[in-house]
Structure formats: C-alpha cells, structure tokens
C-alpha cells in the first residue's frame, strides 16, 4: 500500500494564522468578504504571493515524505468572490483562479513525476477536460450508496472512462442515505471503475471478509478488460433494470452487469441483450459471483443460469439476449463473456 494525503489547498478558515496574517489573500469583492461556507473562505491562487506560498506548502511534504497520491478536494463553493489586491476585476479574478489551479497541478507534477492526483471537489464537482489532463482519477460523488451510485456512475461514464472513475465498496449501511445493501450489490456497483474499499473490513464478519477478498481477486483478474475496454449500455424498456458492461477492444472478452434497481412493473423481465460483441463470433457467457450470489424471487432459474454457462453467437446475444433473472431490488448479477 502507498501513503496518500487528503488536501484542500484552496481554502482557509478565518480563525487561522494564515488569514490573520494575510486577509488580502482571500477572494473578495470590493474589500468585502463573501458569505462563509463550511467556516471557510477561498484563497486567491491568482495572487502571486498566495500562489507561491501554497506551492511551497504542498511541495514540502511531497519532498520530505514518500507520498504517492494526493486527494485534492474543493468543498467550498466559489460565490460572490472577486480577487485579492487592488485594481483587479472580479471576473478576471475568478478566471485567474482557475488557471492558477491548473498551473499549480502542473508544477507539482513536474517536481514529482510519480505523483498521482485525484480530483475530488465535493464528489464530481470539478470534472472537465482541462482538469482530467492533470489528474489520474475522479472522485465521482461523496454519496457511496450503491443505488445512488448506479445512475451517478452511468452518466459520468459517458464522459469519464472506468479507469478514471472513483468507485468504492462501502460499509453495509451508507453514511449518506442510511440504506443497507448487500455486499454483492455494493461490490458489483464498484467494480466498473477505479475500485477501492471505504469500509473498515476488520469489523466485518469472516464471511464478508472472504467475499471482499473474492471481489478484489475478480477485479485483478479482469482489470485489463475493465480498464482498457469500451463501455457499453443496453437500451431497455424497463427502467427498473439496467444492463451495462465493458467490452475489450478486440471484442474477445467482456464483463457485464444485470442490475435490478427497483421493483418492476413487468411480471417477466425482458431479455438482457449484451451490446458490443462481434456478431460473427461465438461467446461463452458465465455468471460470476465474486462477492456472493444476488438475491432473487425466482424459484426456478433460467436454464442457462442453472447450467452455469451458455454459448451463443454474438449476434444472438446482442439482438435477442438472454432470459433475465428475477432479482430483488438493489441486486446485480455479473456476467463474464469470452470468445470461443
């Protein structure tokens, strides 16, 4: 494991030595401070003395210690903020702030070439093409509830590939929503991204610890596909269930998830089509249970599930699909697909 440091370098608490010594280093309008947020004000990185001070403060621990990773946060919104120093226009101040953030990231990475940086920013608040040129991962949302994460990751994934998408297996009960979800669902949700653990697994039962180990092993086994393939999503009439996955560039293998979000109005689920495969090749489709079996309401599973695998042409899988299982809400079934 590597040591990482969580920083929020653009903020200052007014009850601090820095603010008392340099109140002019804060973004302000006409000498008037904006309303405080989170007991914070925003430092004006476009102000050269402020920029130089902050660069030195970040560079020092990176030089003195073996820090491999910075989680770069920005929780305080920039509102009603101008610029430090006399004679500077408000709009120019905010624009200069943005450019200074890019410059600061560039300088730190030039000084420390192996450093990885996550753009956190209260979840996904700072995700754009410029910031992605300078960071290695996006923290998608501070909400780690797997049900909430499904649409968050689905739509962020239209812009950000899985290998840059921060996803974590959280504790059984989400700290942001109070929902309690099964480990297979949480693990399957976090699988399609830069997966990590946000859970003190030493407090988990032995069975859950084994399941976490199985999930981690599954990620390692399929990382080349998950972090090097093409993201695909199947069109479905039923909004209660989604099918999505990642297909290798040469279409020789893929990993999919059939996700049941809520109760469905359909008595029988529509077939699950698997998009992105080569229509002229045959594929073996196998269910995978790295962190446990998803819970369902179906007494007799579909034949292909009961037998543990099925081999079909990519054309059939992509246009007709497979009979979908009847799962309970907040459950997911993983599928591993291999060309034969």
- Where in the sequence of the chain do the CATH 2.60.40.1180 domains occur? 230-339
- Spatial distance between the Cα atoms of 56 and 44, rounded to a whole number of angstroms: 15
Chain mean pLDDT for the chain: 93
What is the reported pTM?
Answer: 0.92
CATH of 1-139, one of 3.10.20.740, 3.40.367.20, 3.20.20.70, 3.30.43.10: 3.20.20.70
Integer Rg of the chain from CA? 24
pLDDT given at position 86? 47
Q: What percent of the chain has pLDDT over 90?
A: 83
CA distances from 264 to 4, 31, 39, 238, 326 (A): 43, 57, 45, 7, 10
- Spatial distance between the Cα atoms of 105 and 128, rounded to a whole number of angstroms: 14
pLDDT given at position 80? 72
pLDDT in tens, 73-119: 998 888 776 665 544 544 456 788 889 999 999 999 999 999 999 99
Neighbours of 155 (CB within 10 A): 12
Task: Note if 80 is an active site residue.
Answer: no
Is the distance from CB of 312 to CB of 285 less than 8 angstroms? Answer: yes
Q: On the CB side of 318, how many CA atoms lie within 13 Å of its CA?
A: 16
Is the distance from CB of 289 to CB of 336 less than 8 angstroms? Answer: no
Number of continuous H segments (helices) and E segments (strands) in the chain: 9, 14
- Spatial distance between the Cα atoms of 240 and 229, rounded to a whole number of angstroms: 26
For 55, the token pair is 């660069």
Beta strands 137-139 and 165-170: pairing type?
A: parallel
- Where in the sequence of the chain do the CATH 3.20.20.70 domains occur? 1-139
Enclosing H/E stretch for 99 = helix 90-111
CATH architecture of 230-339: Sandwich (2.60)
pLDDT given at position 32? 81
pLDDT given at position 293? 95
Task: Note if 73 is an active site residue.
Answer: yes
pLDDT in tens, 61-73: 999 999 999 999 9
If one compares 267 and 104, the residue with the highest pLDDT of the two is 104
> Which of these is catalytic: 142, 208, 238, 278?
142
């Amino acid at each position: 494991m590597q040591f990482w440091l969580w920083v929020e370098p653009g903020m200052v608490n007014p009850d601090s030595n820095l603010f008392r010594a340099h109140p002019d280093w804060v973004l302000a309008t006409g000498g008037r401070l904006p309303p405080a947020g989170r007991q914070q004000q925003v430092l004006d990185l476009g102000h050269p003395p402020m920029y130089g001070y902050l660069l030195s403060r970040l560079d020092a621990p990176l030089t003195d210690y073996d820090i491999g990773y910075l989680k770069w946060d920005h929780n305080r919104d920039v509102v009603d903020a101008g610029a430090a120093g006399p004679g500077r226009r408000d709009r120019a101040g905010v624009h200069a702030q943005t450019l200074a953030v890019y410059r600061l990231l560039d300088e730190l990475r030039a000084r420390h070439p192996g450093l990885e940086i996550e753009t956190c920013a209260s979840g996904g608040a700072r995700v754009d093409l410029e910031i992605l040129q300078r960071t290695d991962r996006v923290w998608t949302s501070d909400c780690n509830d797997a049900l909430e994460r499904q649409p968050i990751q689905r739509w962020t994934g239209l812009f950000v590939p899985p290998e840059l998408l921060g996803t974590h297996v959280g504790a059984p009960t989400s700290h942001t929503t109070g929902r309690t979800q099964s480990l297979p669902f949480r693990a399957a949700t976090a699988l399609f991204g830069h997966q990590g653990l946000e859970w003190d697994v030493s407090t988990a039962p032995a069975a859950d610890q084994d399941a976490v180990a199985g999930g981690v092993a599954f990620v390692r086994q399929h990382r080349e596909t998950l972090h090097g393939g093409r993201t695909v999503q199947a069109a479905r009439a039923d909004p209660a269930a989604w099918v999505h996955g990642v297909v290798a560039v040469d279409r020789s293998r893929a990993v999919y998830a059939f996700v049941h979000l809520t109760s469905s109005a359909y008595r029988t689920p529509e077939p699950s089509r698997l998009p992105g495969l080569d229509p002229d090749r045959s594929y073996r489709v196998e269910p995978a249970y790295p962190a446990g079996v998803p819970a369902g309401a179906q007494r007799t599973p579909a034949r292909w599930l009961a037998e543990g695998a099925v081999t079909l042409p990519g054309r059939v899988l992509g246009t007709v699909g497979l009979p979908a299982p009847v799962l309970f809400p907040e459950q997911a079934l993983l599928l591993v697909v291999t060309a034969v």
